[in-house]
Amino acid sequence: MCGIFGYIGKKENSLEIVIKGLQKLEYRGYDSWGVATEIDGQLFIEKKVGKISEAKTDDFHDKKCQFAIGHTRWATHGGVTDINAHPHFSSDKTIAVVHNGIIENYEELRDELGRDNFISQTDSEVVAQLIAKFRKEMSFKDAVLAAINKLKGRYAIVVMNVGENYLIAARRGSPLIVGVGDGEYFLASDIPAFLEYTQNVNYLDDDEMVIVDGNVEFINLTTGRSVEKRLINIDWKAEGAEKGEYDHYMLKEIMEQKDSILRAINQDTDEIMHIAQQIKKSRGCFFSGCGTAGKVCMAGEYFFSLIANRHVNFAPASEFPVYHHFLRPESLLVVVSQSGETADVLEAMDAAKSKNAKVLSIVNAEGSTIARQSDFSLHIKAGPEKAVASTKAATSQMALLMLIATAMVDELQEGRRQLAEVASKINDMLNPRFLTYIKAVAEKIKDHENCYIIGKAENYPMALEAAIKIQEVSYVHAEGFAAGELKHGPIALVTDGTPCIALVANDEVKNDTINNTIELKARGAHIIGISPEKHEVFDDWIKVPDVGIASPLVNIIPTQLLAYYIAVLRGLDPDMPRNLAKSVTVK
Ligand code: M6R
């Protein structure tokens, strides 16, 4: 939800650096963008509706300044217009601000500051006006502190003040990372934005502020005191965050599942055993996540039941409040997230912590808020995932949940061996012929407006997940169903030629799933079977390896590819679907 970027250092082409950084954050928001700096003692601002990837750095070549701020927006308050784009600035044009998050009391603050002074419909403009008001009576730093004290809600902000050669940033609930280069600093919503300059970072925690000039000073907003921070070296390469030879990040990330699963299961044995013990001894184990991560949790629920004979309670994080009253100190909340910044998940964690329950997180973004606020955190090591559609993170998270389930029944080594075999079979499966075949299947169904996916047992969550993938990138109305539920209603939707995808595994429920598929076929459905074995009911058969209980990990991959190719064949950009953003930091 919005990407912010600030630069201060020795280089004079700060605007070009900021634009390039924002282009790497485009996955966080892509409806409009803007930059600000100081030129000849005046505030310089450029804001535009459209994608930051369309901005040309050359246009800013002659605008020299050693600091600048910028923003790529995913609209919350106020429509997509040039004026509502960030940076927002004070009426006297001395203060400019970029903001990610939501200022909940902005209406109240607008009244206080005089509604006539506002030119945008955003909540963010109040931050600039408020700082400017305080700035008339105090230093830039104190004015930011005073303004922050009045803000309610979640935010990450970066602020500049004309005439002051430093930037100030602060956070509460939205991510902000400081990249520490050689005599230069980067303030960004995510690490890939500045990876080409530095791999050394400081994470800003909630209720902290940072003042950046030639040095960097962190301040705790509650105590007003300086805070010492550990410099962390990030083991990511800049190229890992680029598209490389692929047309889209989504395809690149699907292909990376050839080895990302292996990295996920390569965890410290003692740590996994410790976590398995914590789960076993917990009284009330809850799984929660959003979207795809939520479907991963559901798959985990099946793994825990089938492998570890352990009942867990899953709820999407946005629905988790219904479970709050069950939480107690002996409870354990397991949260799953790619970005580690999802607001609904953070709220579930807050609820758990308020009841002294423990939190285990399974995340991809190292050092993210969710990772740092958990009692235990496992990093899936999938590398940067930039496409809005989550793919490699999901399979890695499922692999790790399955590994933990095996550890709970003292079969960790065997679990690791099985999952390594799954990874190697996925490596074989993802060959060019396989991709060409799936593209041809996508070609057959791309013009249908409805598509249904069925699965049973551990493949039921994958039917739901396949539907999310197809919906979000191709805008086809896709829905996933438990195969056995069809006859209770959904089968009425099927008419001649409706594409229906059946996720079948070589498991105890195989015959049931095939029977349900036959029922669909009898109503005229065009059946795409994803299965290790061919069956006469399939009109198109996508062969996947036979991996037993791990079937969700392999069955989901062809559906990711189908979603990708349907989108591309419909002329859409799968990396930047409409209305969505990669990291959902608002509730
Ligand atoms: O970063 P998270 O894993 O917490 O994100 C959760 C969802 O927002 C995310 O999975 C979303 O549903 C994806 N767009 C699905 O592909």
Helix (H) or strand (E) holding 55: none
What is the torsion angle, in degrees rounded to the nearest 10, for the CA atoms of residue 402, residue 408, residue 413 and residue 417? -20
What is the Å distance from ligand 1's center to 466 Cα? Answer: 13
Q: What is the CA radius of gyration of the chain?
A: 25
User: Residue 236 pLDDT > 80, yes or no?
Assistant: no
Q: How far is the CA of 289 from the centre of ligand 1 (A)?
A: 8
Q: Residue 95: CB partners within 8 Å, gap ≥ 6?
A: 89, 128, 131, 132, 135, 159, 160, 161, 162
Please indicate, yes or no, whether residues 480 and 408 belong to a single structural domain of this protein: no
Give the pLDDT of residue 239: 66
Q: What is the pLDDT of residues 532-572, one digit of tens each?
A: 999 999 999 999 999 999 999 999 999 999 999 999 999 99
A 10 A CB-CB count for 571 gives 7
Structure tokens of 577?
């679907």
Does 582 participate in catalysis according to the annotation? yes
Closest CA to 2 of 580, 573, 539: 580
522-539 mean pLDDT: 97
- Co-location of 384 and 529 in the same domain: no
Domain final position from 200, 221, 245 = 245
Q: Give yes or no: residues 437 and 416 share one domain.
A: no
Euclidean distance between CA atoms 144 and 129, whole angstroms: 11
Nearest C-alpha neighbor of 178 from the set 43, 319, 30, 5? 5
The answer on pLDDT for 131 being more than 70 is yes
Tell me how far apart the alpha carbons of residues 150 and 138 are, in angstroms, rounded to a whole number: 16
pLDDT at site 74:
87
Domain extent for 317? 251-430
pLDDT band for 121, please (50, 70, 90 cuts).
very high
Reported as a pLDDT band with limits 50, 70 and 90, residue 189 is very high
Other Cβ atoms within 10 Å of 430 Cβ, number: 17
Determine contact, residues 172/146, Cβ cutoff 8 Å: no
Q: How confident is the model over 356-409, as pLDDT tens digits?
A: 999 999 999 988 899 999 999 999 999 999 999 999 999 999 999 999 999 999
**Residue listed under structure tokens 């509730």:** 587
Query: Residues 394, 442: one domain?
Result: no
Q: Where is average pLDDT lowest: 229-238, 317-326, 418-427?
A: 229-238
Strand duo 450-455 + 358-363: pairing: unpaired
- Whether residue 584 has its Cβ less than 6 Å from ligand 1: yes
The mean pLDDT of the chain is 94
The Cα 150–Cα 227 span in angstroms is 22
Q: Which residues on neighbouring strands pair with residue 160, listed in sequence order? A: 96, 167
Residue of 451, 500, 582, 587 marked active site: 582
Do residues 258 and 395 share a domain? yes
Does 471 sit in the ligand 1 pocket, CB within 6 Å? no
Ligand 1 pocket check for 316: Cβ under 6 Å: no
Cis peptide before 329 (omega within 30 of 0): no
So what's the pLDDT on residue 87?
A: 98
For residue range 98-112, list pLDDT tens digits in order: 999 889 999 999 999
424 and 466 assigned to the same domain:
no
Rounded Cα distance between 155 and 76, Å, is: 13
Ligand 1 near 369 CB (within 6 A): no
- Token pair 């909540």 is found at 123
Share of the chain above pLDDT 90, in %: 87
Residue identified by tokens 């608002």 is 586
Q: pLDDT-based confidence at 77, cuts 50/70/90?
A: confident
Number of CB atoms found within 10 A of residue 399's CB: 29
**221 in the same domain as 240:** yes
More confident site: 288 or 369: 288
Secondary structure, 3-state, 199-210: CEEEECCCCEEE
Q: Whose CA is nearest to atom 6 of ligand 1?
A: 290
Under a CB-based contact definition with an 8 Å cutoff, are residues 251 and 565 in contact? no
Residue to probe by mutation, ligand 1, list 338, 392, 470, 473, most atoms within 8 Å of CB: 338
Q: Give pLDDT, residue 242.
A: 79
Query: Are 454 and 502 in contact, with CB atoms under 8 Å apart?
Result: yes
How much distance in Å is there from the Cα of 425 to the middle of ligand 1?
26
Q: Report d(CA 24, CA 235) in Å as an integer.
A: 18
486 in the same domain as 443: yes
Give me the pLDDT at residue 234, please: 83
Q: Do 183 and 282 fall into the same domain? A: no
**Structure tokens, 439:** 């593209």
- Judgement on whether residues 263 and 206 belong to the same structural domain of the protein: no
| Token pair listed for 507 | 């498991």
To the query of whether residue 451 is one of the catalytic residues in this protein, the response is no
- Which residue's entry shows tokens 């959904």? 490
d(CA 435, CA 203): 40
CATH number for 179: 3.60.20.10
Residues near 495 by Cβ (< 8 Å), separated by ≥ 6?
A: 523, 524
Angular region, 475: left φ>0, alpha ψ -120 to 50, beta rest: left
Domains held by the chain: number: 3
Same domain assignment for residues 371 and 331: yes
Looking at the structure, tell me whether residues 7 and 120 fall in a common domain: yes
| Residue 202 contacts residue 337 (beta carbons within 8 Å) | no
CATH number at residue 380: 3.40.50.10490
Which of 79-83, 401-405, 539-543, 577-581 shows the lowest mean pLDDT across its residues? Answer: 577-581
Tell which atom from ligand 1 comes closest to the C-alpha of 292. 10
Measured distance between the N- and C-terminal CA atoms of the chain, rounded to whole angstroms: 11
Nearest CA to ligand 1 atom 7: 291
pLDDT band at 5 (very low <50, low <70, confident <90, very high): very high
Whether 238 has a pLDDT exceeding 80, the answer reads no
Q: What is the pLDDT of residue 327?
A: 95
Distance 408 CA to ligand 1 centre (A): 27
Confidence of residue 426 (pLDDT cuts 50, 70, 90): very high
Strand order in the sheet with 526-531: 477-482, 450-455, 499-503, 526-531, 540-543
Show contacts of 566-573: CB within 8 Å, 24+ apart.
566/442, 566/445, 566/446, 566/470, 566/473, 566/474, 566/476, 567/473, 567/474, 568/247, 568/248, 569/439, 569/442, 569/443, 569/446, 570/446, 570/474, 570/475, 572/473, 572/474, 572/475, 573/248
CB 58 within 8 A of CB 15: no
Out of 373, 398, 430, pick the residue that ends a domain.
Answer: 430
With cut-offs at 50, 70 and 90, classify the pLDDT of residue 29. Answer: confident
Of 414, 430, 446, the one marking the end of a domain is: 430
